[in-house]
Structure 1
Amino acid sequence: MTKKYIYMYSYHEDEDFLCKLEMRSLFGFDTSSSILHSTIKRDPSRSPFIKARVDVLFQEASIEQLIKNVKELNTIEQTCKVMFVQHGDQKKTNKVEFQQRRSIEREVGLNLPGEVDLVNPEIIFGILKVDEGWVFGDYIKSKAVWLKHQVKPHNYSTALSTRVARAVVNIAVPDPNGLKVIDPCCGIGTVLIEALSMEIDIVGRDLNPLVIPGARGNVAYFGYTGEVVLGDMRNVTNNYDVAIIDMPYNLCSIITSKEKLEMIQSARQFSRKVVIVTVEPMDLVIEAAGFEIVDRCVARKGTFSREVLVCH
């Protein structure tokens, strides 16, 4: 039987479009719901928007039938606990109140064929109330890895936030196995760090000699190992599966329309897929370079916005 997974999401309204583009990249579709059902298994810690994943063992119309299934589980060798998982889709008419949640946790826990440890369990089982009934399965909480990357020794005022950078990496590289990736305008390494933390094979490059020591220092500060070289992306000779390009835009990085076209044309030569982050319209340049924009979104923060463009 096909394994099923349920992902719990939480994000600010400004992040709606970015989150949904990440959903489409990771799972092939998006949803306005706070939970996403899929047969695709992803580490919940990859996404800045996923709070947890439940690996579905049972889904039943009633809690009574679910408890019967729990009783029939094989003996659980590790210590465990049961947790009722709240999510944003539980409307007032379908809301499970606190006392009922605790009661369900106790009843299911008492029927588990294993030793319960409420303080330091080795396994956590989650119970969810969904439109289709009741779900029981392994509960895997997301670790907000990107949060620790916010404080680094070297910073750049126009760099992406770690949260946006992590989502962009997921959009660019949903399945990293066997892929070679390049960030040819890496700046102080925000995208590099998020990619390296997900064990993605990525190299960094930048033509600004002033930012290279900072990028290398930031990567090393978090204990990651990655190549960061000085050089113009128009001189890249190796081939890559994916390129992530955060287009320069501040007062120190003014580039002409001709240079923009040359940059994207060069990316067309060394990468078959490009994800571009830009504050300016790039459609005509991208099309002139021979790429097709296959998906896109706007990433907002207050009044400031960037476009994220997925190009093949």
Structure 2
Amino acid sequence: MNREPLYVYSHICHEDEDSLRDLELRVLFGQDAAPGLFVSGREVDPDRSPFLKERIEVLVEGDDIASVAKLAARVQVPEGATFKVVYVKNAGRDDAVKISYDEQRAVEREIGRHIVGKADMKQPDYRFGIAACGGRWYFGHYRRHSSVWLSHKHKPQHYSIALPVRLARALVNMAVPEPDGVKAIDPCCGIGTVLVEALSMGLDITGRDINPLAVHGARDNIAHFGLRGEVRLGSIAEETGHYDAAIVDLPYNLASRSSRDEQLFLLRHTRRIAARAVVVSLEPIDDLLGAAGFVVRDRCVASKGSFSRHVAVCE
């Protein structure tokens, strides 16, 4: 069964988050993700993204269920181990939506009866997935996300205008799609929403903020989740290190926003210390990004009700 790695992913989001999800998946996978399911040669842990739901690490594929079932017979389940086959729905395609619950279970049984081993529907040792995508059927090791980021909504320190956790996690993935050896910074980290998401994924990230109360809050939140990360007090102008990526949520509050001069100041210093940046603003700021030396590679609008944030991926 030697072959190039291949994976099938399912994804889901609220309709307000379509633009954000699409941008995150484009950056992570280097391709537009088809509705429902998509196939990629890139291995991404489903727990990284707030939008990925399931992943099949493909072992065999074929044009129909019968051919895949025969090939699935070659899959080795250790002696004494149990298994389960999960049908992964392709809800983004009209023809797949019509497959009934009973038909889905029939597909699972057809595949399962070809695998040598004992089936266990409740607590199996191994889980396998079967899915139809792009006119082909795929079978392999199955993994479902555990939504580890959901617990991060409950921070001891918080304020009303902090980034939503799902948005923060997506920003981290846009800034650092391939984390090995990458150093990142959040130079306006506030209470550390982005830092918590990045550190929980094992990323090397440093936080900085000019507000001592925010720095204290960020440190408290990081420690609350059993994470370790450096958060420094001071202006971005004082930063002397160099980073592969920066995540910048331009400061604002309910009473006032940072001026364009202040925004340009932050962006120029971000360009000085980082090769790549993901910038969040309340309105398009292409002129300021250009003046700071950035080129916008991709963008989206992240909405929540009537409130929108503009996200730009820059180099």
Shift in Å at residue 95 of structure 1?
Answer: 2.5
Residue 199 of structure 1 corresponds to: 202
Say yes or no: does 1:49 pair with 2:44.
Answer: no
Q: CA RMSD in A?
A: 1.6
Residue 106 of structure 1 corresponds to: 109
Residue 69 of structure 2 corresponds to: 67
Structure 2 CA distance, aligned partners of 1:49 and 1:254?
30
Which stretches of structure 1, 4 residues or more, deviate above 3 A after TM superposition?
74-78, 251-254
Which of 127, 130, 138 aligns to 1:127? It is 130
Say yes or no: does 1:296 pair with 2:295.
Answer: no
Shift in Å at residue 32 of structure 1?
Answer: 4.2
Residue 141 of structure 2 corresponds to: 138
Shift in Å at residue 131 of structure 1?
Answer: 3.5
- Please say if residues 76 and 113 of structure 1, whose CA atoms lie closer than 8 Å, have aligned partners that are also in contact: no
Residue 270 of structure 2 corresponds to: 267
After TM superposition, the score normalised by the length of structure 2 is 0.95
What are structure 2's unaligned runs of at least 5 residues?
none
* Equivalent position SS for 2:69: helix
Counterparts of residues 143-162 of structure 1 (less than 5 Å)? 143-162=146-165
- Please say if residues 183 and 204 of structure 1, whose CA atoms lie closer than 8 Å, have aligned partners that are also in contact: yes
Shift in Å at residue 110 of structure 1?
Answer: 2.3
Residue 236 of structure 2 corresponds to: 233
After TM superposition, the score normalised by the length of structure 1 is 0.95
- Please say if residues 91 and 97 of structure 2, whose CA atoms lie closer than 8 Å, have aligned partners that are also in contact: no
* Equivalent position SS for 1:45: coil
Residue 30 of structure 1 corresponds to: 32
- For residues 281 and 53 of structure 1, do their structure 2 counterparts lie closer, same or farther at Cα, with a shift above 3 Å needed? same
Opposite residue 118 of structure 1, the aligned amino acid is M
Shift in Å at residue 288 of structure 1?
Answer: 0.8
Structure 2 CA distance, aligned partners of 1:75 and 1:288?
59
Deviation per residue, 1:199-251 (Å, 9 max, x gap): 00001110011111111111111110001111101111111110100000114
Opposite residue 264 of structure 1, the aligned amino acid is L
Tell me whether 84-93 or 102-111 shows the greater mean CA deviation: 84-93
What are structure 1's unaligned runs of at least 5 residues?
none
* Equivalent position SS for 1:86: coil
Which of 8, 12, 15 aligns to 2:14? It is 12
Opposite residue 41 of structure 2, the aligned amino acid is T
Deviation per residue, 1:35-59 (Å, 9 max, x gap): 1210000001101111010111111
* Equivalent position SS for 2:275: strand
* Equivalent position SS for 1:44: coil
Structure 1 CA distance, aligned partners of 2:40 and 2:169?
21
Opposite residue 159 of structure 2, the aligned amino acid is Y
Seq. identity, %: 46
Opposite residue 15 of structure 1, the aligned amino acid is E
Aligned length, in residue pairs? 312
Opposite residue 61 of structure 1, the aligned amino acid is D
Tell me whether 129-138 or 42-51 shows the greater mean CA deviation: 129-138
